[in-house]
């Protein structure tokens, strides 16, 4: 379960003294997630009970947090269904608990979807288009934590633990992305989510109600963000792509933010780069005997990468 840092009743009551949100009724650690510690928190403000989420950040530092506080507030104000942090009575959202950055956020309603349909993909495509449009004039920048510099370094460090074939596959993808960056394509960039897997979305019935876990957000190619979504939302368990779901995703996204000409050229590589990035981030803890992180299967993304190489992707 993803409670890495234990929060006691007293910790929480002390934190809540800074806010005017009500009395603590209940709180409970959340099972899902692998990076951060999350608790559902119930408060009573006298008029009734309200639900919140307390997140303690296990990897991000205090210095990195203002980007996320500002971005989530910015996006929520522009109608994106993202949780936003509450400010205490001094106007401060960013708190600290057990030395970790902590935020008390809105709890959004809805459930995770297990069986993805073209309609779910259409909705997430439109919502990601809206997210990117809303973020275009966002005033802060952040370099990706697991971006080009990270995968260049990590792919070299891990190579000795891989088969020659896999090490070569990683090297090739890192090089191909570097070649893409050198093209004079001027691909649209902005604030991207960076990890919009379907387990980071909630649906109320069949309506998208929340986009969660924005803490991989950074400044990057908008199309790369869409590639991350396509590789998770539109893929079958064997790594093959479901063309109907992918068509629904890309068409809905393109209706909100029409693609630039050069994005058509970049797409076949960006879906490969996105598959490589998650293959690598899953390989690192899986091959580290001392890792305390919950392990997700790296093979899934190796299969997707091979599939994307075998059948080059195309934007509609």
Ligand X SMILES: N[C@@H](CCO)C(=O)O
Binding site for ligand ATP (CB under 6 A): 2, 30, 32-36, 38, 53, 83, 105-108, 195, 199-200, 210, 212-213, 215
Starting at the edge strand that comes first in sequence, how are the strands of the sheet with 95-97 ordered? Answer: 23-29, 37-44, 49-56, 100-106, 95-97
Of 238, 234, 235, 262, the C-alpha closest to 248 is 234
Tokens of 207: 């309506």
Minimal distance, residue 276 CB to ligand ATP, in Å: 18
Answer with the entry of ligand X, ligand ATP, none that 151 interacts with (C-beta below 5 to 8 A by kind): none
Q: Smallest gap, in angstroms, from Cβ of residue 183 to ligand X?
A: 28
Residue nearest to ligand ATP (CB): 33
In DSSP terms, 207 is beta-bridged to: 204
Helix (H) or strand (E) holding 188: none
> With CB cut-offs between 5 and 8 Å by kind, which of ligand ATP, ligand X, none does residue 278 bind?
ligand X
201/197 Cα distance (integer angstroms):
7
Paired residues of 220 in beta bridges: 190
Report d(CA 141, CA 83) in Å as an integer. 20
- C-alpha count within 13 angstroms, C-beta hemisphere, residue 245: 18
CB of residue 34 to ligand ATP, shortest distance in Å: 4
Q: Give the one entry of ligand X, ligand ATP, none that residue 53 binds, where binding means its C-beta sits below a cut-off of 5 to 8 angstroms depending on kind.
A: ligand ATP
Min CB(268)–ligand ATP separation in Å: 27
148 binds, among ligand ATP, ligand X, none (CB under 5 to 8 A by kind): none
Which residues of this protein are in contact with ligand X, per CB under 6 A? 34, 195, 197, 278, 281-282, 296
**Nearer CB in complex with ligand X: 173/195:** 195
83 binds, among ligand ATP, ligand X, none (CB under 5 to 8 A by kind): ligand ATP
- Minimum distance between the CB of residue 243 and ligand ATP, rounded to whole angstroms? 27
The phi and psi torsions of 85 (rounded to 5 degrees) equal -80, 140
Residue 30, binding choice from ligand ATP, ligand X, none, Cβ under 5 to 8 Å by partner class: ligand ATP
For residue 95, give both structure tokens. 């708190």
Backbone φ and ψ for 26, nearest 5 degrees, come out as -160, 155
Find the shortest distance in angstroms from Cβ 49 to ligand ATP. 15
């Amino acid at each position: 379960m993803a409670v890495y840092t234990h929060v006691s009743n007293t910790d929480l009551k002390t934190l809540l003294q800074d806010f005017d949100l009500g009395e603590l009724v209940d709180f409970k650690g959340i099972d899902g997630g692998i990076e951060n510690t999350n608790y559902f928190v119930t408060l009573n403000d006298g008029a009734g009970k309200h639900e919140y989420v307390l997140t303690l950040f296990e990897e991000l530092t205090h210095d990195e947090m203002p980007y996320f506080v500002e971005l989530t507030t910015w996006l929520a104000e522009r109608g994106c269904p993202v949780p936003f942090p509450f400010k205490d009575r001094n106007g401060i959202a960013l708190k600290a608990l057990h030395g970790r950055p902590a935020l008390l956020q809105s709890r959004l309603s809805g459930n995770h979807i297990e069986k993805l349909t073209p309609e779910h993909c259409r909705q997430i495509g439109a919502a990601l288009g809206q997210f990117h449009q809303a973020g275009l004039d966002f005033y802060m920048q952040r370099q990706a934590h697991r971006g080009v510099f990270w995968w260049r370094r990590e792919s070299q460090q891990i190579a000795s633990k891989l088969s020659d074939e896999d090490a070569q596959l990683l090297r090739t993808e890192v090089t191909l992305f570097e070649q893409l960056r050198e093209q004079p394509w001027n691909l649209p960039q902005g604030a991207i989510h960076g990890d919009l897997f379907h387990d980071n979305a909630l649906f109320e019935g069949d309506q998208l109600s929340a986009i969660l876990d924005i803490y991989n957000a950074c400044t990057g190619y908008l199309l790369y963000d869409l590639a991350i979504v396509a590789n998770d939302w539109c893929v079958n368990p064997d790594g093959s792509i479901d063309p109907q779901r992918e068509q629904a995703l890309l068409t809905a996204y393109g209706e909100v933010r029409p693609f630039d000409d050069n994005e058509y050229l970049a797409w076949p590589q960006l879906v490969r780069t996105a598959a490589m990035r998650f293959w690598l981030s899953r390989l690192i803890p899986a091959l580290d005997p001392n890792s305390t992180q919950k392990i997700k299967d790296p093979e899934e993304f190796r299969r997707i990468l091979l599939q994307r190489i075998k059948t080059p992707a195309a934007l509609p």
